[in-house]
Structure 1
Amino acid sequence: MPTLDRTIIIAGAAGQGLVTVGELLSKILTRAGYEIFATQHYMSRIRGGHNSFRLRISDLPRYASADNYDILFAFDQDATTLHSDMLHEGGTIILSDKLDAVHKQCVRIPFDKLSSNPRYENIVALGVLCSLLGLERALPEQLLSERFASKGEEIVQENIAVLTSAYEWSVAHSDKCSQLPKMYAHPERILVNGNNSIALGAMAAGVKFCAFYPMTPGSSVAQTLINHSEEMGVVVEQVEDEIAAINMALGASYAGAASLVPTSGGGFALMTEAISLAGVMEQPVVIVLAQRPGPATGLPTRTEQGDLLFSMFGGHGEFPRIVLAPSTIEECFEMGHRAVSFAERYQTPVILLTDQFLADALQSLETYDLHSLGQVHRPDYSDTEPASYQRYALTPDGISPRRIPGIGKTTVLADSHAHNERGNITEDKALRNSMVKKMLLKESSIRKDVIPPRYYGNSKPDKLLICWGSSEGAVREAAESRIEHGENVAVLCFSQVYPLDVTQFIHYLENAKERVCIEGNAFGQFAWLLKGLTCIPIEKNISRYDGRPLTAGYIVHKMYEE
């Protein structure tokens, strides 16, 4: 169990620099050796409204937000009103001396005295927080030097001067906040969010093309690819709409480039016809579906797990597909790689389900181990016997040889119609049956490669908590808290949600006295899926659909709610 578990919430209006403070502090703490898990809560506006950055600090990895906080840094009065009731006993509120103190333990900062330029208020905030937490000043100084190096030495020194003033002022207030225990510094560790991690995993698998239309919370996958496009040889195209995006990706895939399209629910809705096109063409493509609450525009900057069934069944006609749902930021990297690998191997659409919570969450990690990743299947670049090549040849596993047009004399046909083995349009009923059976064979091949769910706990639990995707961290934390109280609780978590191999997990369901499915949607979509596949009842559903992420406290409360 962790001996350190401290949470800071930095809150205020959009445009006040609170995300800058949160991200800088997260990087500093990561380099200092702490385990960091941070989440962002923001409204759909450029300025105003109310946003928050929630930073959890521990000596062991954490995978979910805490329910309560130790420090509230309030950039405006609304922040004190909205969040002060979530402070732990003995917690501290840090705020401007121009705001009203609403708590017995307040640190009121004279921003005007510490910096004559309002532009540096976030550096004052960073300095005060670092000082009160007991972090050596050299850590933020080094980070500021790196961050502002491109703006010149004068700007660097101005920032460091403000930071120094904030540190010196904070000394007199050190009794208001307990310092963090020292950790061994790890300057080589990285701080990434879920979307960064997905993009990095996809690049490690050889993604070479991305087309997208910006849509929160999926856009930063494309932005990460853009940031590394030159060094990694990735072409990224921002297009006029989601229909163009996925059709361009299919064209690039046909030409031999492993392709990826990031979007959210509304964009995925526009893509469904082209997903069916990928199915009949047997063309590999990865779609990153970053979920947010719907229907329609819904809550565009909040989180939900409401598109599970849509991802499985969106598109007309029957064809194989794979749906993955990473549960942690580290697993986002693995699943980003695996999504490309599955798409290329099985020549089919792969949908990678994430959500705003996981997409924007930040975590400190060791650098990724590229050697642990499997080989990615590549197309056949040969040109032997071009006249006899059949793009849709009938094979025992349903997977046909895929060649690339333009290499030698081989003709590679692709069409949206039903076709024969060569790819020519046909309405022959025998050939139609053969091609459908080919797809069924491919589905069977995919099922042999299904990622098994993870199981934690006693083999015969009183309560089995079932979850998928990003809810795992909160669910496991809830289970651990009940185990500490002597309860017999286990967890079953899925990172592949379609197709499923029932033989991998049905015994876990059968051995539990009570099964509880926990997910971020109102209908209990995964519970519905499991009941349909296994005919085993799910006695209780715990759902959250207010746009906020699941937490351990929320889950425990709902577990015992009548």
Structure 2
Amino acid sequence: MGKEEHTVNNLTWKIAGQAGDGILNAGLSMFANTCARGGLYAFATAEYPSLIRGGHNHLDVRVSDKPLHSHRYNVDLLVALNQESIDKHKEKIVSGGGIIYDYDALGEQKEVQNGINLYPVPLLILAKEHGGPIMKNTVAIGATYALVDFDLELLNNTIRKLFKKKGDGVINGNIAAAKAGFDFIREKWGNHFPYTLKAGEHHGYVFMSGNEAIAIGAIQAGCKMICAYPMTPASSIMVSLAKFENEAGIVVKQTEDEVAAMNMAIAANYAGVRTMTATSGGGFALMVEAFGMAAQMECPLVIAEAQRPGPGTGMATHTGQGDLRFVMHAGTDEGPRLVIAPGDITQAFFLTIQAFNLAEKYQMPVLILTDKYLGESYKTIPYFDLSLVNIERGELINDPDGLKGSEYVRYKVTTSGISPRTIPGVRGGRHVCTSYEHDEEGNEHEGEENKLMMSQKRFRKFELLKKELPKPELIGAKDAQLTIISWGSTRDPILEAMDELNGQGISVNYLQIIYPNPLHEDVVAEVIKKAKKVVLIENNQTGLLGGVIKEHTGLDVHHKILKYDGRPFFPSEIVQGIAKIAKGTDERILHFSMNRQVANENIGVRG
């Protein structure tokens, strides 16, 4: 096959095997990072079971010389470390694609369809010759770079940096293992594979995940403490902050449970220290009573709630968007809270900073609502523009000299609803602060007039906050054939799908709801009324945002594309759904899974 027939700098690579094979480390730290260091754009997302060892793991990495938004369903090159990996993913491999596998371990692959190139490599034998079985992944990555004709020295540089602390023996062993895989492919198949990666000039971008962006955003916001109990998929927020514990002067406290985490976070914020907690839906359920106390105390609080499928423990290591209503209404009675739903990694960084600012300015809890897909996917992005970062602490009085003789009223009823706030140690700032309904001084008070006064005070802040928040804006042509409304991590697959749909002659625009609570219902209503067709896209079963929109506007979004199998949308699923709706289908709700539309109900029913 001649060079002119090669697809250059447009590759989807998958590595798959069982838990414990080191797939995530090899795929992210070696393959994806090396591509990024080579001046290419990379997007990586993984799927793994809630097991230490065993079960099926796989990592998808897309590589291009153009910015990437999302992963794909189809695979160009599969590295299969066991037979299950071939069986599970062979149907996704494109014609002309290939499989790298260990012939000695897996034997001949007669069931693989024609048009797919098979590359049997003695992965285990070569690994044992260069350090042991643990080197199998490194051999496979070396073999990959031979097939795609990528500069092996770039991988060697990554290995040197990755294993710097482990010494020359580990570094040289990995370099030798990668070269063994590279040489084996070159000697046996040469330049046979029809996909090529060519390094370009390093664009100075960074390769990071959504959870890392939240952690770095918290640091830039002045966060000095995180109190959390590990819970997938939020755990890496705490882990990321721990990496900067000394450098940024952050206290990282792993608590005994989620109740303790929430109470410690409230106490630290009360003391004037910007503090956050991070959890998933099950952990937040345990935090709810204390969450209500923070609302009653009018205490700033930032919570990152990383969604995963439920109910109950559900699917601990998968993704979904099922907690929207839960976080909007968690707690007894009605307490104002801001819900922020970033849609990509850059938004996760800047909106985390905003969360800390608004929590203090309006003295209320703020939830950053993310999920496994956004939190644990990695993408090449530009460096964050730190000139845009601004810290705002609101009506905080932290001068030790205090109030200089003036009488302090903690919950003073003001036109804005925002009262002056002191921290312990401020002279003259002593006050009562509990979870009970209270008067202006903080003393328990259960009178009718007082309850009305304090409830109205708290919600005046909420209305003022709503006016400050940026209103949602349409992305794409205003006169498009279809308008998509969505929120959270569906953003990147939607943007990828829009490019393809516009290429097919189907014009689409998109309204991303970053702030589901409070909702800018006037903007949403106007968009729905002016649109030719409106489609709601959500990673849940009932279209939760659609219900919120109907509640606030009285308008129903007629068409819905929904996915709730624990996996994120593939852009191709959105393309299929939008194309069908554009043609005029009578179906109002389209359910997708595994890159195809599935039955709306009764899947698996017997009898």
Compute the TM-score of the two structures, normalised by the length of structure 1.
0.96
In structure 1, the residue matched to 2:493 is 474
Question: Residue 295 of structure 1: which of 311, 327, 347 is its match?
Answer: 311
Closer, same or farther in 2 for the Cα pair 1:502/1:418, shift >3 Å? Answer: same
Question: Residue 100 of structure 2: which of 94, 108, 114 is its match?
Answer: 94
Check conservation: 2:295, 2:336, Cα contact below 8 A: yes
- Is 1:528 paired with 2:534? no
Counterpart amino acid of 1:108? P
In structure 2, the residue matched to 1:114 is 126
The C-alpha deviation readout for 1:323-366, integer Å capped at 9, x for no partner, is 01111112111111111111111111001111111111011122
For 1:271 and 1:227, how far apart are their aligned partners in 2? 26
Measured after TM superposition, the shift of residue 113 of structure 1 is 4.2
Measured after TM superposition, the shift of residue 504 of structure 1 is 2.9
In structure 1, the residue matched to 2:19 is 14
Measured after TM superposition, the shift of residue 183 of structure 1 is 4.1
For 1:28 and 1:524, how far apart are their aligned partners in 2? 39
Check conservation: 1:13, 1:48, Cα contact below 8 A: yes
- Is 1:483 paired with 2:502? yes
Closer, same or farther in 2 for the Cα pair 1:46/1:503, shift >3 Å? Answer: same
For 1:504 and 1:121, how far apart are their aligned partners in 2? 54
The C-alpha deviation readout for 1:18-63, integer Å capped at 9, x for no partner, is 1122111111011111111110111111111111100011222222
Per mean C-alpha deviation after superposition, the further-off stretch among 497-506 and 327-336 is 497-506
Counterpart amino acid of 2:73? D
Measured after TM superposition, the shift of residue 387 of structure 1 is 5.6
Measured after TM superposition, the shift of residue 386 of structure 1 is 5.3
Identity %: 35
Question: Residue 537 of structure 1: which of 527, 532, 556 is its match?
Answer: 556
For 1:332 and 1:66, how far apart are their aligned partners in 2? 22
- Is 1:417 paired with 2:436? yes
Measured after TM superposition, the shift of residue 409 of structure 1 is 4.0
Alignment of 1:487-506 (within 5 A): 487-506=506-525
Does the residue aligned with 1:505 lie in a helix, a strand or coil? helix
Does the residue aligned with 1:531 lie in a helix, a strand or coil? helix
Measured after TM superposition, the shift of residue 90 of structure 1 is 0.7
Over the residues paired in the alignment, what is the CA RMSD in angstroms?
A: 1.7
In structure 2, the residue matched to 1:445 is 464
For 1:26 and 1:265, how far apart are their aligned partners in 2? 30
Measured after TM superposition, the shift of residue 513 of structure 1 is 1.8
For 1:31 and 1:413, how far apart are their aligned partners in 2? 55
Q: Which portions of structure 1, spanning 4 or more consecutive aligned residues, are displaced by more than 6 angstroms?
A: none
For 1:123 and 1:73, how far apart are their aligned partners in 2? 11
Check conservation: 1:386, 1:411, Cα contact below 8 A: no
Closer, same or farther in 2 for the Cα pair 1:281/1:6, shift >3 Å? Answer: same
Question: Residue 124 of structure 1: which of 128, 134, 139 is its match?
Answer: 139
* Corresponding pairs, count: 561
Question: Residue 381 of structure 1: which of 378, 388, 398 is its match?
Answer: 398
Does the residue aligned with 1:497 lie in a helix, a strand or coil? coil
Does the residue aligned with 1:50 lie in a helix, a strand or coil? strand
In structure 1, the residue matched to 2:296 is 280
Counterpart amino acid of 2:563? R
- Is 1:157 paired with 2:172? yes
Counterpart amino acid of 1:169? F
For 1:112 and 1:58, how far apart are their aligned partners in 2? 30
For 2:520 and 2:320, how far apart are their aligned partners in 1? 25
Does the residue aligned with 1:90 lie in a helix, a strand or coil? strand
Check conservation: 2:319, 2:567, Cα contact below 8 A: yes
Alignment of 1:160-239 (within 5 A): 160-172=175-187, 173-186=189-202, 188-239=204-255
Check conservation: 2:101, 2:123, Cα contact below 8 A: no
- Is 1:141 paired with 2:156? yes
Check conservation: 2:482, 2:531, Cα contact below 8 A: yes
The C-alpha deviation readout for 1:211-237, integer Å capped at 9, x for no partner, is 111111011111111111111111111
Alignment of 1:33-112 (within 5 A): 33-98=39-104, 99=106, 100-101=108-109, 102-103=111-112, 104-112=116-124
Measured after TM superposition, the shift of residue 551 of structure 1 is 1.3
Does the residue aligned with 2:145 lie in a helix, a strand or coil? helix
Alignment of 1:354-373 (within 5 A): 354-373=370-389
Counterpart amino acid of 2:265? A
Measured after TM superposition, the shift of residue 464 of structure 1 is 1.0
The C-alpha deviation readout for 1:447-494, integer Å capped at 9, x for no partner, is 112232241222233311111010011122222222222123221111
Counterpart amino acid of 2:223? V
Counterpart amino acid of 2:573? Y
Counterpart amino acid of 1:363? K
Does the residue aligned with 1:139 lie in a helix, a strand or coil? helix
Measured after TM superposition, the shift of residue 7 of structure 1 is 0.7
For 1:258 and 1:273, how far apart are their aligned partners in 2? 21
For 1:160 and 1:473, how far apart are their aligned partners in 2? 35
Counterpart amino acid of 1:303? T
Compute the TM-score of the two structures, normalised by the length of structure 2.
0.89
Measured after TM superposition, the shift of residue 3 of structure 1 is 8.1
Check conservation: 2:9, 2:198, Cα contact below 8 A: no
In structure 2, the residue matched to 1:510 is 529
Does the residue aligned with 2:468 lie in a helix, a strand or coil? coil
Unaligned runs of 5+ in 2: 1-6, 588-607
Check conservation: 2:219, 2:248, Cα contact below 8 A: yes
For 1:428 and 1:517, how far apart are their aligned partners in 2? 45
